[in-house]
């Protein structure tokens, strides 16, 4: 913990340096990189003292992911003998910045056209214990610090998956996961379960029913992808973490309370989940009053603010190369504003000049009422040859209501490739390249044209064009479980606006876990 304190303290120093003036912006960017790297150098000594498990290829047909089981890039830890308890740690620092870009105009939620650099640091402490036959309890204590670019506004496919919509100058903490999982074997062939951050080593039936209840993320259950899901080890953009159109149940840090049921068979799986939505847009749930420091949040009316999802997964092989396709559907209810109603009210009474930055601050309260919204997603992955995989996501939602928890995207498509470094004698390295195209519904466009601000966007006006992003990264092993990464993202028409950009975003990441 003393080592981790140095990491967090170093980033606080960086934030203090940043506050000393725009003239030091370039020096600050270098200072951030140096201080974060300096802090992590202390972590190397801890990593040297800890044994690491050998890596073996994941078998999606035998071991589909459970909550949090997406730490590795294209691999999972090797199976071990059955354990009654375990503990793990992960620590990730990400630094990102841009050198400015052209923009014809800016609004309250615009990406800063002058250029900036920001950093985030996350530390997760995991522990698990076996309760009774087939039952496990897991906990994840998360500490986070830092900010996304422009306070996590101005881009729909936001470039940093660790940039929560709750940036903080000083470290905050939460029990991000606190759940019980009951697995009921249905007989037949068994598969190894790895010792991982949220799984205990052992064996389980491939044909099984799994029930999970407590606090976790819906993305722990659905929309997984072997090549694009974890910003700590893979792509950093939000669009690579999950489907941008999925306004899923979560607080502003990404977690909530709910339950999930999963039925797994050798070639397919069926999943369902029901989760609590926050009382307010981009808000905290009632549980955050007790499980987060500093305490915050409020409960929404019972059974009036919720999110449910269902996913069907089909696994297959082409010439021994595994592939997976997942079909996702979701339905939410919350105090959503109608874009059409909000637009009419804004045209009758335009936002006051100088309105502040924030999610949905220009939405007139009379536009809100308890409404439903829904959407669908498609998630695909395919190994082409050994160590090379393709992946894609498609998503759509009805586009009539404001966003409550994730992004303002109403339709999206992505396609990418992930390549392990065995061909150049770096088997633990990974190269990735992906493109993302995201757009807004007509109702959403008219709302933004009227000067509206939503979850991430709000330039005061809109010259509409779909947002286009290209991301590439190279993740390289430094020593055993210590990895570094370099990342580049090129964004055209940020936040659906062709009057702004393009912008180049450069990033670096340092990550270790055990």
Whole-number pLDDT of residue 45 = 34
- Segment 6-53, tens digit of pLDDT: 444 444 334 433 443 443 343 344 344 434 443 443 333 333 333 333
The secondary structure element, H or E, covering residue 241 is: helix 238-241
Question: SS3 of 106, please?
Answer: coil
Identify whether 451 is part of a domain.
yes
CA–CA distance, 283 with 277 (Å, rounded to integer): 9
Owning domain of residue 473: 80-513
DSSP secondary structure letters along 474-511: EEEEEETTEEEEEEEEEEESGGGBTTB--EEEEEEEEE
DSSP secondary structure letters along 141-205: EEEEEE--GGGT-S-SS-S-TT--SS-EEEEEEEEEEEEEEEEEE-SS-EEEEB-BTTB-SEEEE
**Residue 490 β-bridge partners:** 470, 504
CB–CB of 192/83 below 8 Å?
Answer: no
CA distances from 288 to 115, 312, 336 (A): 34, 31, 21
Query: How far is it between the farthest Cα atoms of the chain?
Result: 67
CA distances from 269 to 145, 196, 210, 391 (A): 37, 21, 11, 19
First CA to last CA across the chain, in angstroms?
14
How many residues comprise the chain? Answer: 514
Whole-number pLDDT of residue 80 = 54
CB–CB of 450/343 below 8 Å?
Answer: yes
What's the half-sphere exposure (Cβ side, CA atoms, 13 Å) at 93?
25
CB–CB of 251/293 below 8 Å?
Answer: no
Identify whether 64 is part of a domain.
no
3-state DSSP percent of the chain in helix, strand and coil, to 5: 15, 45, 40
DSSP H helices in 366-496: 442-449
CB–CB of 149/160 below 8 Å?
Answer: yes
From 7, 17, 15, select the one nearest 38 (Cα to Cα): 7
Whole-number pLDDT of residue 26 = 39
CATH, residue 224: 2.40.160.180
Whole-number pLDDT of residue 22 = 40
Identify whether 150 is part of a domain.
yes
Question: SS3 of 383, please?
Answer: strand
Identify whether 35 is part of a domain.
no
Identify whether 58 is part of a domain.
no
CB–CB of 409/439 below 8 Å?
Answer: yes
CA distances from 289 to 174, 210, 249 (A): 10, 29, 17
Identify whether 240 is part of a domain.
yes
CA–CA distance, 137 with 197 (Å, rounded to integer): 12
Q: How many domains does one find in the chain?
A: 1
- Listed as ranges, residues in the chain with pLDDT below 70 are 1-80
Question: SS3 of 402, please?
Answer: coil
- Segment 218-260, tens digit of pLDDT: 999 999 999 999 999 999 999 999 999 999 999 999 999 999 9
CB–CB of 230/198 below 8 Å?
Answer: no
Identify whether 125 is part of a domain.
yes
Identify whether 334 is part of a domain.
yes
């Amino acid at each position: 913990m003393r080592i981790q304190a140095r990491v967090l303290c170093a980033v606080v120093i960086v934030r203090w340096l940043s506050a000393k003036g725009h003239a030091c912006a370039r020096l600050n960017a270098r200072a951030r990189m140096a201080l974060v790297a300096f802090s992590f150098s202390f972590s190397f000594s801890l990593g040297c003292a800890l044994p690491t498990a050998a890596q073996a290829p994941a078998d999606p047909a035998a071991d589909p992911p459970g909550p949090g089981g997406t730490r590795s890039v294209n691999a999972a830890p090797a199976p071990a003998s059955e354990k009654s308890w375990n503990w793990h740690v992960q620590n990730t620092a990400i630094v990102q910045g841009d050198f400015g870009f052209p923009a014809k105009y800016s609004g309250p939620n615009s990406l800063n056209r002058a250029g900036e650099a920001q950093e985030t640091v996350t530390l997760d402490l995991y522990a698990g214990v076996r309760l009774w036959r087939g039952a496990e309890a897991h906990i994840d204590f998360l500490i986070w610090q830092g900010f996304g670019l422009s306070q996590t506004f101005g881009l729909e496919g936001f470039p940093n998956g660790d940039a929560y919509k709750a940036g903080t100058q000083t470290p905050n903490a939460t029990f991000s996961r606190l759940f019980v999982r009951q697995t009921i074997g249905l007989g037949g062939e068994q598969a190894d379960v790895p010792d991982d951050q949220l799984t205990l080593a052992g064996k389980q039936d491939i044909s099984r029913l799994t029930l999970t209840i407590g606090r976790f993320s819906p993305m722990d259950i659905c929309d997984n992808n072997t090549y694009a899901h974890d910003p700590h080890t893979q792509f950093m953009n939000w669009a690579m973490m999950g489907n941008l159109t999925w306004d899923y149940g979560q607080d502003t840090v990404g977690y909530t309370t709910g339950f999930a049921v999963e039925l797994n068979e050798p070639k397919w799986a069926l999943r369902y989940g029901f989760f609590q939505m926050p009382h307010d847009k981009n808000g905290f749930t009632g549980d955050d009053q007790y499980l987060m420091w500093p305490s915050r949040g409020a409960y929404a009316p019972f059974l009036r603010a919720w999110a449910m999802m269902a996913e069907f997964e089909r696994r297959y092989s082409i010439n021994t190369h595994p592939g997976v396709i997942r079909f996702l559907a979701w339905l939410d209810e919350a105090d959503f504003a109608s874009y059409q109603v909000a637009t009419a009210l804004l045209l009758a009474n335009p936002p006051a000049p100088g309105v502040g930055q924030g999610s949905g601050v220009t939405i007139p309260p009379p536009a809100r009422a308890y409404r439903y919204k829904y959407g669908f997603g498609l998630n695909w992955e395919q190994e082409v040859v050994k160590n090379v995989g393709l992946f894609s996501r498609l998503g759509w939602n009805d586009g009539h209501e404001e966003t409550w928890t994730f992004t303002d995207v109403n339709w999206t498509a992505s396609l990418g490739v992930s390549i392990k470094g065995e061909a150049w004698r770096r088997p633990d390295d990974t190269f990735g390249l992906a493109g993302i195209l995201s757009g807004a519904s007509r109702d959403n466009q008219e709302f933004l044209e009227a000067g509206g601000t939503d979850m991430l966007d709000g330039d005061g006006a809109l010259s509409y064009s779909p947002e286009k992003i290209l991301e590439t990264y190279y993740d390289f092993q430094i020593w055993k479980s210590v990895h570094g990464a370099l990342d580049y993202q090129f964004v055209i028409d940020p936040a659906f606006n062709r009057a702004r950009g393009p912008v180049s975003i450069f990033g670096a990441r340092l990550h270790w876990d055990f």
